[in-house]
Protein backbone atom coordinates (compact mmCIF):
# COMPACT_ATOMS: atom_id res chain seq x y z
CA UNK A 1 0.00 0.00 0.00
CA UNK A 2 1.38 3.40 -0.96
CA UNK A 3 1.58 6.55 1.18
CA UNK A 4 0.72 9.41 -1.20
CA UNK A 5 0.60 12.17 1.44
CA UNK A 6 3.84 11.17 3.13
CA UNK A 7 5.66 10.70 -0.19
CA UNK A 8 4.56 14.13 -1.42
CA UNK A 9 5.64 15.84 1.81
CA UNK A 10 9.03 14.12 1.77
CA UNK A 11 9.63 15.11 -1.85
CA UNK A 12 8.52 18.70 -1.29
CA UNK A 13 10.67 19.17 1.80
CA UNK A 14 13.69 17.64 0.03
CA UNK A 15 13.34 20.01 -2.93
CA UNK A 16 13.79 22.96 -0.54
CA UNK A 17 11.70 25.50 -2.48
CA UNK A 18 11.17 29.12 -1.48
CA UNK A 19 7.85 28.82 0.38
CA UNK A 20 5.83 31.85 -0.62
CA UNK A 21 2.70 30.30 0.88
CA UNK A 22 1.22 29.52 4.26
CA UNK A 23 2.01 28.56 7.01
CA UNK A 24 4.25 31.21 8.44
CA UNK A 25 6.84 28.82 9.86
CA UNK A 26 8.01 28.34 6.21
CA UNK A 27 9.12 24.82 6.97
CA UNK A 28 11.87 25.95 9.34
CA UNK A 29 10.48 24.20 12.40
CA UNK A 30 8.13 21.76 10.64
CA UNK A 31 9.25 20.85 7.09
CA UNK A 32 6.08 18.84 6.42
CA UNK A 33 3.72 21.65 7.45
CA UNK A 34 2.23 22.97 4.23
CA UNK A 35 -1.05 24.25 2.84
CA UNK A 36 -3.07 23.12 -0.18
CA UNK A 37 -0.47 23.94 -2.81
CA UNK A 38 -0.47 22.44 -6.31
CA UNK A 39 -0.45 18.66 -6.13
CA UNK A 40 -1.27 18.52 -2.41
CA UNK A 41 -5.05 18.14 -2.63
CA UNK A 42 -5.67 15.05 -4.76
CA UNK A 43 -3.22 13.01 -2.65
CA UNK A 44 -5.62 13.32 0.31
CA UNK A 45 -8.38 11.57 -1.63
CA UNK A 46 -5.97 8.84 -2.68
CA UNK A 47 -4.93 8.23 0.92
CA UNK A 48 -8.58 8.26 2.06
CA UNK A 49 -9.36 5.56 -0.51
CA UNK A 50 -6.57 3.46 0.96
CA UNK A 51 -8.12 3.85 4.42
CA UNK A 52 -11.58 2.99 3.10
CA UNK A 53 -10.23 -0.25 1.65
CA UNK A 54 -8.60 -1.16 4.96
CA UNK A 55 -11.73 -0.48 7.03
CA UNK A 56 -14.16 -1.91 4.51
CA UNK A 57 -15.94 1.41 3.93
CA UNK A 58 -17.50 2.81 0.78
CA UNK A 59 -15.99 6.19 1.60
CA UNK A 60 -13.60 7.40 4.28
CA UNK A 61 -13.03 11.06 5.09
CA UNK A 62 -10.06 12.28 7.14
CA UNK A 63 -10.66 14.64 10.04
CA UNK A 64 -8.03 16.97 11.47
CA UNK A 65 -10.50 17.98 14.19
CA UNK A 66 -10.93 14.65 15.94
CA UNK A 67 -13.98 12.40 15.98
CA UNK A 68 -16.10 15.41 16.99
CA UNK A 69 -16.05 16.69 13.41
CA UNK A 70 -16.95 13.20 12.16
CA UNK A 71 -19.88 13.06 14.61
CA UNK A 72 -21.19 16.43 13.41
CA UNK A 73 -20.87 15.38 9.77
CA UNK A 74 -22.55 11.99 10.05
CA UNK A 75 -25.48 13.53 11.94
CA UNK A 76 -26.00 16.21 9.28
CA UNK A 77 -28.84 14.33 7.57
CA UNK A 78 -30.71 14.31 10.90
CA UNK A 79 -31.12 18.12 10.97
CA UNK A 80 -34.45 19.24 12.46
CA UNK A 81 -35.52 15.64 13.10
CA UNK A 82 -35.23 13.18 16.03
CA UNK A 83 -32.29 10.98 17.01
CA UNK A 84 -32.46 8.06 19.45
CA UNK A 85 -29.23 7.94 21.49
CA UNK A 86 -27.79 6.17 24.50
CA UNK A 87 -27.28 8.45 27.50
CA UNK A 88 -23.55 7.69 27.81
CA UNK A 89 -22.96 9.59 24.54
CA UNK A 90 -20.16 12.16 24.37
CA UNK A 91 -21.11 15.83 24.53
CA UNK A 92 -20.39 16.13 20.79
CA UNK A 93 -23.85 14.64 20.24
CA UNK A 94 -25.43 17.52 22.22
CA UNK A 95 -23.25 20.04 20.38
CA UNK A 96 -24.49 18.56 17.10
CA UNK A 97 -28.10 18.80 18.30
CA UNK A 98 -27.59 22.48 19.05
CA UNK A 99 -26.00 23.14 15.67
CA UNK A 100 -28.35 20.99 13.59
CA UNK A 101 -31.60 21.48 15.49
CA UNK A 102 -32.49 17.82 16.06
CA UNK A 103 -34.06 16.51 19.26
CA UNK A 104 -32.85 13.49 21.22
CA UNK A 105 -34.82 10.54 22.59
CA UNK A 106 -32.53 9.13 25.28
CA UNK A 107 -32.10 5.43 25.94
CA UNK A 108 -31.31 4.48 29.54
CA UNK A 109 -30.19 1.02 30.73
CA UNK A 110 -33.73 0.10 31.73
CA UNK A 111 -35.22 1.16 28.36
CA UNK A 112 -36.30 -1.11 25.53
CA UNK A 113 -34.59 0.17 22.37
CA UNK A 114 -37.46 -1.19 20.25
CA UNK A 115 -39.84 1.17 22.01
CA UNK A 116 -37.50 4.17 21.68
CA UNK A 117 -37.22 3.81 17.89
CA UNK A 118 -40.25 4.84 15.84
CA UNK A 119 -41.25 6.33 12.49
CA UNK A 120 -39.96 9.76 13.52
CA UNK A 121 -36.46 8.46 14.31
CA UNK A 122 -33.90 9.66 11.78
CA UNK A 123 -31.06 7.56 13.22
CA UNK A 124 -29.91 5.61 16.27
CA UNK A 125 -26.66 6.92 17.77
CA UNK A 126 -24.52 4.65 19.93
CA UNK A 127 -21.16 4.96 21.67
CA UNK A 128 -19.38 1.70 20.91
CA UNK A 129 -16.70 1.95 23.61
CA UNK A 130 -16.85 4.61 26.32
CA UNK A 131 -13.97 6.26 28.18
CA UNK A 132 -14.02 3.53 30.83
CA UNK A 133 -13.78 0.77 28.24
CA UNK A 134 -17.39 -0.39 28.54
CA UNK A 135 -18.73 -1.81 25.29
CA UNK A 136 -22.12 -2.15 23.60
CA UNK A 137 -23.67 -5.09 21.78
CA UNK A 138 -23.53 -3.40 18.38
CA UNK A 139 -24.81 -6.47 16.59
CA UNK A 140 -27.98 -6.59 18.71
CA UNK A 141 -28.53 -2.85 18.33
CA UNK A 142 -28.09 -3.15 14.58
CA UNK A 143 -30.74 -5.88 14.44
CA UNK A 144 -33.26 -3.48 16.00
CA UNK A 145 -32.23 -0.75 13.54
CA UNK A 146 -32.55 -3.13 10.60
CA UNK A 147 -36.00 -4.23 11.71
CA UNK A 148 -37.08 -0.59 12.08
CA UNK A 149 -35.28 0.47 8.86
CA UNK A 150 -33.32 3.16 10.73
CA UNK A 151 -29.60 3.88 10.16
CA UNK A 152 -27.19 3.07 13.00
CA UNK A 153 -24.51 5.71 13.60
CA UNK A 154 -21.60 4.65 15.83
CA UNK A 155 -19.33 6.91 17.83
CA UNK A 156 -16.35 4.57 17.64
CA UNK A 157 -13.86 7.19 18.79
CA UNK A 158 -12.25 4.77 21.24
CA UNK A 159 -12.39 1.78 18.92
CA UNK A 160 -10.46 2.60 15.74
CA UNK A 161 -8.12 -0.28 16.63
CA UNK A 162 -11.02 -2.69 16.00
CA UNK A 163 -10.00 -2.52 12.34
CA UNK A 164 -7.64 -5.38 13.33
CA UNK A 165 -10.60 -7.50 14.47
CA UNK A 166 -14.04 -8.62 13.33
CA UNK A 167 -15.70 -6.33 15.88
CA UNK A 168 -15.48 -2.95 14.13
CA UNK A 169 -18.99 -1.40 13.96
CA UNK A 170 -18.81 -1.19 10.15
CA UNK A 171 -18.46 -4.97 10.04
CA UNK A 172 -21.44 -5.33 12.40
CA UNK A 173 -23.87 -3.22 10.39
CA UNK A 174 -23.21 0.43 11.32
CA UNK A 175 -24.24 2.94 8.65
CA UNK A 176 -21.46 5.39 9.50
CA UNK A 177 -18.78 5.50 12.18
CA UNK A 178 -16.61 8.19 13.72
CA UNK A 179 -13.19 6.78 14.66
CA UNK A 180 -10.39 8.59 16.48
CA UNK A 181 -7.10 7.36 15.06
CA UNK A 182 -5.18 9.29 17.70
CA UNK A 183 -6.67 7.43 20.66
CA UNK A 184 -5.56 3.86 19.95
CA UNK A 185 -3.63 3.98 16.65
CA UNK A 186 -0.22 5.68 16.15
CA UNK A 187 -1.54 9.00 14.82
CA UNK A 188 -1.22 12.62 15.95
CA UNK A 189 -3.78 14.22 18.25
CA UNK A 190 -6.79 15.34 16.23
CA UNK A 191 -6.46 12.58 13.63
CA UNK A 192 -9.79 10.83 13.00
CA UNK A 193 -11.97 9.22 10.36
CA UNK A 194 -15.54 9.30 9.19
CA UNK A 195 -16.33 5.93 7.61
CA UNK A 196 -19.42 5.63 5.40
CA UNK A 197 -20.61 2.06 4.87
CA UNK A 198 -21.29 0.35 1.59
CA UNK A 199 -24.97 0.29 2.53
CA UNK A 200 -25.30 4.07 2.90
CA UNK A 201 -27.54 5.76 0.36
CA UNK A 202 -26.12 8.55 -1.79
CA UNK A 203 -28.23 11.33 -0.24
CA UNK A 204 -27.15 10.69 3.33
CA UNK A 205 -23.53 10.20 2.28
CA UNK A 206 -23.67 13.55 0.48
CA UNK A 207 -24.98 15.24 3.63
CA UNK A 208 -22.04 13.77 5.58
CA UNK A 209 -19.53 15.10 3.06
CA UNK A 210 -21.18 18.51 3.12
CA UNK A 211 -21.02 18.37 6.91
CA UNK A 212 -17.24 18.12 6.73
CA UNK A 213 -17.11 21.30 4.67
CA UNK A 214 -19.64 23.03 6.93
CA UNK A 215 -18.11 22.22 10.33
CA UNK A 216 -14.45 21.52 9.52
CA UNK A 217 -11.53 23.83 9.01
CA UNK A 218 -10.64 25.05 5.52
CA UNK A 219 -6.95 24.75 6.53
CA UNK A 220 -6.26 21.07 7.23
CA UNK A 221 -3.08 20.10 9.05
CA UNK A 222 -0.77 18.18 6.73
CA UNK A 223 1.10 16.96 9.79
CA UNK A 224 -2.08 15.23 10.95
CA UNK A 225 -2.87 14.04 7.42
CA UNK A 226 0.64 12.60 7.19
CA UNK A 227 0.07 10.63 10.40
CA UNK A 228 -3.20 9.24 9.02
CA UNK A 229 -1.46 8.28 5.80
CA UNK A 230 1.22 6.41 7.74
CA UNK A 231 -1.49 4.74 9.85
CA UNK A 232 -2.61 2.98 6.68
CA UNK A 233 0.77 1.26 6.50
CA UNK A 234 0.49 0.34 10.19
CA UNK A 235 -2.93 -1.25 9.59
CA UNK A 236 -1.88 -2.93 6.35
CA UNK A 237 1.50 -4.24 7.50
CA UNK A 238 1.51 -4.58 11.28
CA UNK A 239 -1.35 -6.82 12.38
CA UNK A 240 1.08 -8.96 14.37
CA UNK A 241 2.26 -5.86 16.23
CA UNK A 242 -1.33 -5.03 17.14
CA UNK A 243 -1.94 -8.60 18.29
CA UNK A 244 1.17 -8.32 20.48
CA UNK A 245 -0.36 -5.22 22.08
CA UNK A 246 -3.64 -7.02 22.73
CA UNK A 247 -1.80 -9.91 24.37
CA UNK A 248 0.37 -7.58 26.47
CA UNK A 249 -2.66 -5.76 27.88
CA UNK A 250 -4.54 -9.03 28.48
CA UNK A 251 -1.53 -10.40 30.35
CA UNK A 252 -1.27 -7.19 32.39
CA UNK A 253 -4.93 -7.50 33.40
CA UNK A 254 -4.41 -11.09 34.49
CA UNK A 255 -1.30 -10.20 36.52
CA UNK A 256 -3.02 -7.26 38.23
CA UNK A 257 -6.08 -9.33 39.11
CA UNK A 258 -3.83 -12.02 40.58
CA UNK A 259 -2.00 -9.36 42.58
CA UNK A 260 -5.23 -8.22 44.22
CA UNK A 261 -6.53 -5.40 42.04
CA UNK A 262 -10.21 -5.17 41.16
CA UNK A 263 -10.58 -4.40 37.47
CA UNK A 264 -13.70 -3.62 35.46
CA UNK A 265 -14.46 -5.72 32.41
CA UNK A 266 -13.26 -3.55 29.54
CA UNK A 267 -12.25 -3.58 25.90
CA UNK A 268 -8.87 -4.90 24.75
CA UNK A 269 -6.79 -1.73 25.21
CA UNK A 270 -7.95 -0.37 28.56
CA UNK A 271 -7.32 -1.23 32.17
CA UNK A 272 -9.94 0.32 34.46
CA UNK A 273 -8.95 0.01 38.10
CA UNK A 274 -11.33 0.22 41.06
CA UNK A 275 -9.09 2.48 43.14
CA UNK A 276 -11.55 2.55 46.05
CA UNK A 277 -11.31 -1.21 46.43
CA UNK A 278 -7.52 -0.81 46.75
CA UNK A 279 -7.93 1.91 49.39
CA UNK A 280 -7.54 5.07 47.30
CA UNK A 281 -9.59 7.75 45.63
CA UNK A 282 -9.08 7.85 41.88
CA UNK A 283 -7.08 11.07 42.20
CA UNK A 284 -4.78 9.68 44.91
CA UNK A 285 -4.17 6.47 42.99
CA UNK A 286 -3.42 8.41 39.82
CA UNK A 287 -0.88 10.47 41.78
CA UNK A 288 0.70 7.31 43.20
CA UNK A 289 1.18 6.02 39.65
CA UNK A 290 2.52 9.37 38.47
CA UNK A 291 5.14 9.23 41.23
CA UNK A 292 6.19 5.87 39.78
CA UNK A 293 6.47 7.15 36.23
CA UNK A 294 3.06 6.12 34.89
CA UNK A 295 0.57 8.76 33.69
CA UNK A 296 -3.03 7.58 33.47
CA UNK A 297 -5.60 8.52 30.84
CA UNK A 298 -8.25 9.69 33.33
CA UNK A 299 -9.64 9.21 36.81
CA UNK A 300 -12.72 9.99 38.85
CA UNK A 301 -13.48 9.61 42.57
CA UNK A 302 -13.59 5.84 42.25
CA UNK A 303 -11.69 4.66 39.15
CA UNK A 304 -8.48 5.10 37.20
CA UNK A 305 -8.24 4.34 33.49
CA UNK A 306 -5.01 3.32 31.77
CA UNK A 307 -5.15 3.49 27.97
CA UNK A 308 -2.89 1.54 25.62
CA UNK A 309 -2.62 1.37 21.83
CA UNK A 310 -1.71 -0.94 18.97
CA UNK A 311 1.97 -0.01 19.36
CA UNK A 312 2.08 -1.01 23.05
CA UNK A 313 4.78 -3.59 23.74
CA UNK A 314 5.32 -6.12 26.52
CA UNK A 315 7.95 -3.85 28.07
CA UNK A 316 5.36 -1.06 28.42
CA UNK A 317 2.88 -3.36 30.14
CA UNK A 318 5.66 -4.66 32.41
CA UNK A 319 6.59 -1.13 33.45
CA UNK A 320 2.97 -0.47 34.42
CA UNK A 321 2.80 -3.76 36.29
CA UNK A 322 5.97 -2.91 38.24
CA UNK A 323 4.59 0.51 39.16
CA UNK A 324 1.25 -0.87 40.31
CA UNK A 325 2.87 -3.59 42.35
CA UNK A 326 4.72 -0.82 44.15
CA UNK A 327 1.56 0.97 45.31
CA UNK A 328 0.79 -0.22 48.87
CA UNK A 329 -2.72 -1.56 49.38
CA UNK A 330 -4.88 0.13 52.03
CA UNK A 331 -8.27 -0.51 53.58
CA UNK A 332 -10.98 -0.36 50.96
CA UNK A 333 -13.04 2.81 50.65
CA UNK A 334 -16.79 2.36 50.43
CA UNK A 335 -17.85 4.56 47.49
CA UNK A 336 -20.73 6.97 47.78
CA UNK A 337 -23.69 6.00 45.68
CA UNK A 338 -24.22 8.23 42.67
CA UNK A 339 -27.81 9.46 42.24
CA UNK A 340 -29.65 7.90 39.31
CA UNK A 341 -30.71 10.74 37.03
CA UNK A 342 -33.37 10.36 34.37
CA UNK A 343 -33.34 13.58 32.36
CA UNK A 344 -36.49 14.82 30.68
CA UNK A 345 -36.37 17.44 27.95
CA UNK A 346 -39.07 20.10 27.88
CA UNK A 347 -37.41 22.23 25.20
CA UNK A 348 -35.27 21.37 22.13
CA UNK A 349 -31.52 21.62 22.84
CA UNK A 350 -31.00 24.31 20.19
CA UNK A 351 -33.83 26.50 21.49
CA UNK A 352 -32.65 26.21 25.09
CA UNK A 353 -29.00 26.82 24.25
CA UNK A 354 -29.75 30.04 22.36
CA UNK A 355 -32.43 31.27 24.76
CA UNK A 356 -31.78 34.07 27.18
CA UNK A 357 -30.23 32.42 30.22
CA UNK A 358 -29.07 33.40 33.66
CA UNK A 359 -26.43 31.81 35.89
CA UNK A 360 -27.94 30.93 39.26
CA UNK A 361 -26.75 29.03 42.34
CA UNK A 362 -27.44 25.31 42.16
CA UNK A 363 -29.65 25.62 45.24
CA UNK A 364 -32.16 27.53 43.08
CA UNK A 365 -31.99 25.27 40.01
CA UNK A 366 -34.40 22.40 40.74
CA UNK A 367 -37.53 22.49 38.61
CA UNK A 368 -36.10 24.91 36.07
CA UNK A 369 -34.80 24.38 32.52
CA UNK A 370 -31.07 24.02 31.87
CA UNK A 371 -29.56 26.37 29.28
CA UNK A 372 -26.06 24.89 28.90
CA UNK A 373 -24.12 21.66 28.49
CA UNK A 374 -22.42 20.37 31.62
CA UNK A 375 -20.09 17.55 30.61
CA UNK A 376 -16.87 17.39 32.66
CA UNK A 377 -14.04 15.95 30.54
CA UNK A 378 -12.89 13.32 30.59
CA UNK A 379 -15.18 11.48 30.02
CA UNK A 380 -17.20 14.32 28.44
CA UNK A 381 -20.58 12.67 29.01
CA UNK A 382 -23.33 15.24 29.71
CA UNK A 383 -24.61 15.35 33.28
CA UNK A 384 -27.33 17.71 32.11
CA UNK A 385 -28.10 19.18 28.69
CA UNK A 386 -29.86 22.28 27.34
CA UNK A 387 -33.63 21.95 27.45
CA UNK A 388 -33.71 19.41 30.28
CA UNK A 389 -35.52 20.00 33.55
CA UNK A 390 -33.14 20.15 36.51
CA UNK A 391 -34.27 17.68 39.16
CA UNK A 392 -33.20 17.24 42.78
CA UNK A 393 -31.17 14.22 41.62
CA UNK A 394 -29.48 16.38 38.97
CA UNK A 395 -28.52 18.90 41.64
CA UNK A 396 -26.95 16.20 43.81
CA UNK A 397 -25.04 14.78 40.84
CA UNK A 398 -23.66 18.20 39.89
CA UNK A 399 -22.58 18.84 43.47
CA UNK A 400 -20.61 15.57 43.44
CA UNK A 401 -18.72 16.95 40.46
CA UNK A 402 -17.97 20.25 42.20
CA UNK A 403 -20.47 22.28 40.18
CA UNK A 404 -22.48 24.82 42.20
CA UNK A 405 -23.91 27.15 39.56
CA UNK A 406 -25.89 26.58 36.38
CA UNK A 407 -27.15 28.61 33.44
CA UNK A 408 -30.93 28.34 33.40
CA UNK A 409 -33.33 29.42 30.70
CA UNK A 410 -34.98 32.70 31.65
CA UNK A 411 -38.64 31.93 31.08
CA UNK A 412 -39.98 35.21 32.47
* 147-157 tens-digit pLDDT: 999 999 999 99
What residue spans in the chain does CATH classification 3.90.1150.10 cover? 239-325
pLDDT of residue 337: 76
Sheet containing 303-307: order of strands: 270-274, 303-307, 298-299
* Burial zone of 398 (CB within 10 Å; 0-12 exposed, 13-18 middle, 19+ buried): buried
Q: Is the dihedral of CA 367, 372, 378, 380 positive or negative?
A: positive
Contact call for residues 346 and 370 (beta carbons, < 8 A): no
Strand-strand pairing, 121-127 and 152-155: parallel
Contact 409, 367 (CB under 8 A): no
pLDDT in tens, 361-388: 999 999 999 999 999 887 889 999 999 9
Write out pLDDT tens, residues 100-145. 999 999 999 888 999 899 999 999 999 999 999 999 999 999 999 9
Looking at the chain, the domain(s) classified CATH 3.90.100.10 span 349-409
> CA 80, CA 332: separation in Å to the nearest integer?
49
Q: How far apart are CA 406 and CA 365, in angstroms?
A: 7
Task: With cut-offs at 50, 70 and 90, classify the pLDDT of residue 26.
Answer: very high
- What is the predicted pLDDT for the residue at 109? 85
Q: Is it true that domain 239-325 has CATH number 3.90.1150.10? A: yes
H/E stretch holding 360 reads: strand 357-361
Integer Cα distance of 393 and 343 in angstroms: 10
Counting DSSP H helices and E strands in the chain, the numbers are 14, 12
Pairing of strands 405-409, 357-361: antiparallel
- Give the model's confidence band at 278: pLDDT under 50 very low, under 70 low, under 90 confident, else very high: very high
Q: What is the CATH number of domain 4-237?
A: 3.40.640.10
Interval 285-301: pLDDT, tens: 999 999 999 999 999 99
Which CATH number among 3.40.50.360, 3.90.100.10, 1.20.210.10, 3.30.530.50 corresponds to the domain 349-409? 3.90.100.10
Q: How far is CA 66 from CA 134, 138, 323, in A?
A: 21, 22, 31
Q: Give CATH 3.40.640.10 domain extents, the chain.
A: 4-237
Predicted confidence at residue 392, as pLDDT, reads 92
Strands 82-86 and 103-107: parallel
pLDDT band at 335 (very low <50, low <70, confident <90, very high): confident
Average pLDDT, the chain: 96
Amino acid sequence: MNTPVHDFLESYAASNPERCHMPGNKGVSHPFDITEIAGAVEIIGESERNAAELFGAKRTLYSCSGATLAVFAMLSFCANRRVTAFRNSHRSLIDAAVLLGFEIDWVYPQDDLNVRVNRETAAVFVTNIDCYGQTRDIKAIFEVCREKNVPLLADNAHGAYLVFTDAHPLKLGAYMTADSAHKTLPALTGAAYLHISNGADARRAEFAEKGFALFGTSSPSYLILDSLDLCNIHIFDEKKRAETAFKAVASLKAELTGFGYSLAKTDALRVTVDANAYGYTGGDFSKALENRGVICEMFDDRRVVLLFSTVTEEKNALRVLTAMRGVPQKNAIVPDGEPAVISRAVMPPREAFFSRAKKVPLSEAAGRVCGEIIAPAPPGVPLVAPGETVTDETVELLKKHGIYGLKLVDQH
